[in-house]
Amino acid sequence: MNKVLVAYFSASGVTKGVAQQLAEVTGGTLHEIKPAVAYTEADLDWRDIMYPKN
């Protein structure tokens, strides 16, 4: 019998949804990886780097 673990990190929630679907399809156990320090909105704003504000 194969055992499946679906471990994921999702700062914005998109990856969480995909991980949940994978766990459902595979019958796997879902495990969220959490950062020691929560990310802020500024941390998650990747557009700051690619598209600096004038």
Residue 50 has pLDDT above 70, yes or no: no
Question: Residue 1: pLDDT band by 50, 70, 90 thresholds?
Answer: low
Q: Could you read off the pLDDT of 11-40 as tens digits, one per residue?
A: 888 899 999 999 999 999 999 999 999 888
pLDDT at 48 over 80: no
pLDDT of residue 49: 61
Is there a contact between 29 and 6 (Cβ–Cβ < 8 Å)?
A: yes
Cβ atoms within 10 Å of 28's Cβ, excluding its own: 16
Domain range list for the chain: 5-50
pLDDT of residue 51: 60
User: Would you say the pTM of this structure is higher than 0.85?
Assistant: no
